Amino acid sequence: MRIRQVMIMNKKGIFAAATVLLILGLAALPAQAALPENFDISSNYYTVYGGPDLSATLLGDNEYSRGDTVTLNIEMMNKGAISGFKSEDEADIGDYEDQVLQQTEMQYEAQTVTAIGILATLKSDDPNIKVKSGSQEAGTLKQGKDSSSPTKFTIEINKNASAGTYPLTLELSYKYQNNVQVGGDEYDSTTGLVTNHEVGIWYENKTQTQTLEVKVKKEPYFEVTEVKGDLYPEEGGMLYVTYKNTGEEPAKDATVRVSAGDPFSTTDDQAYLGTLNPGESSVAVFDMDVDEDATPKPYSLNSEILYEDTDGHDQTSDSVKINTEVLSAEKSLPGYQIGAGIGFMALAACFVLYRKRQQE
């Protein structure tokens, strides 16, 4: 259902009548549809063709890394123009009232290209890109003007997003002046004005959509695909961690660095992985110590990979989790268990030997 709004003002801009809301049927009418019957305070001298045309530009770099949360700065410009006009009612020669009103209407009609009360909404249809900001007010833009400050939206890029281009849809809703009528009582030769001057402005709502693009960079991306090694309280153990480059670019001379927080410690916190091309894996080995009072349960360690990218620049990856576990202390006593078994077997042998000698 479309709502058209008519405003009637006197010359000083004070409303002379209440705003009239005309609720029309569901059938869509063309932008230059016939004026409503009660929008008729006087003559309509002109019908102007054209209107606002908003164009949005994403400022700065539009290429980001996986897992980034970034703020997009969007600048808008109104490229609208008046494409033509038609005279609906010619002023009679010598009729000063008509001539003044005709000139006044033309001045108002020039405002038809102004976008009023812009509301910007950014949407993403791809789950890898989430728009975290709601709709943003962007003010009013006159013909040929840029926005005084960028409209900001925050987006979040999934850490598992594939490299490539992702479209975003920007909706710009606003109101614009569709038509103007002017009226008055009579021409005042002393002031050169028309007495009881009135202006009726008919507004319509409009929505424009535009596609903006953000890019996810091609770069190395690392995942832990396997963790081996038994860690016990007080004794610790060797940890074997397999790293895989699941990104699109090679990582040269990669070295992994682990952060050992409680209950872990190590003097061996780095391991060399070498050059990892896309799809390749390498195993890092860490000698880990575990506190004697560590609680047996799953733990997570943080690690990061230092490498050289294809441009020769040193880079550091995002944190990569290593999921491991501290096992129960009794599992760390195989010597005790073996000793107990040997002792039991020795006693059993002695008992068998004793019985045999008794029988003899």
Cα separation of 326 and 260, whole Å? 13
Instruction: Tell me how long the chain is.
Output: 360
Element (H, E) at 343: helix 334-359
92-106, 168-182, 219-233 — most confident range? 219-233
Which residues contact residue 12 at a Cβ distance below 8 angstroms, ignoring those fewer than 6 apart? Answer: none
Inter-residue contact 43 to 181 (CB < 8 Å): yes
Beta-bridged to residue 243, according to DSSP, are 224, 282
Integer distance in angstroms from the first to the last C-alpha of the chain? 113
- Would the pLDDT of 107 be above 90? no
In a domain, 332, yes or no: no
139: left (phi over 0), alpha (psi -120 to 50) or beta: left
d(CA 320, CA 256): 10
In this structure, what token pair is assigned to residue 81?
């123009």
Q: Which among 166, 177, 174 has a CA at the least distance from the CA of 205? A: 174
Q: What is the pLDDT of residue 297?
A: 95
Whether residue 121 is contained in a domain is answered as: yes
Q: Are residues 189 and 270 in the same domain?
A: no
How big is the CA angle at 39 (ends 28 and 36), to the nearest 5 degrees? 25
Report the predicted TM-score, pTM, of the whole model to 2 decimal places.
Answer: 0.69
How high does pLDDT run on average in the chain? 79
**Mean pLDDT, residues 280-291 taken together:** 96
Contact 80, 140 (CB under 8 A): no
Which one of 193, 216, 239 terminates a domain?
Answer: 216
- pLDDT single digits (tens) 170-187: 999 999 988 776 666 565
Lowest-pLDDT range, 6-10, 78-82, 92-96, 245-249? 6-10
Instruction: Judge whether 154 and 160 are in contact, CB under 8 Å.
Output: no
pLDDT value of residue 110:
73
Range of the domain at 10: 3-216
**pLDDT at 295 > cutoff 90:** yes
- The model's pLDDT over 157-216, given as tens digits with 9 standing for 90+, comes to 998 899 999 999 999 999 998 877 666 656 555 655 655 566 677 788 999 999 999 999
Do 47 and 154 fall within a single domain? yes
The reply to whether 350 falls in a domain is no
Residues 90 and 42 in one domain: yes
- Residue 187: the pLDDT is 59
Range with the largest mean pLDDT of 3-17, 284-298, 322-336: 284-298
* Mean pLDDT along residues 233-255: 95
| pLDDT for the residue numbered 16 | 34
Domain of residue 150, CATH code: 2.60.40.10
Total count of domains within the chain: 2
CA distance 86 to 50: 12
- Per the DSSP assignment, residues forming a β-bridge with 9 are 15, 199
- 198-216 and 63-64: which strand pairing? parallel
Please tell me the predicted confidence (pLDDT) of residue 3. 36
Please state the rounded mean pLDDT for residues 5-20: 38
Picking from 216, 245, 280, the residue at the C-terminal end of a domain is 216
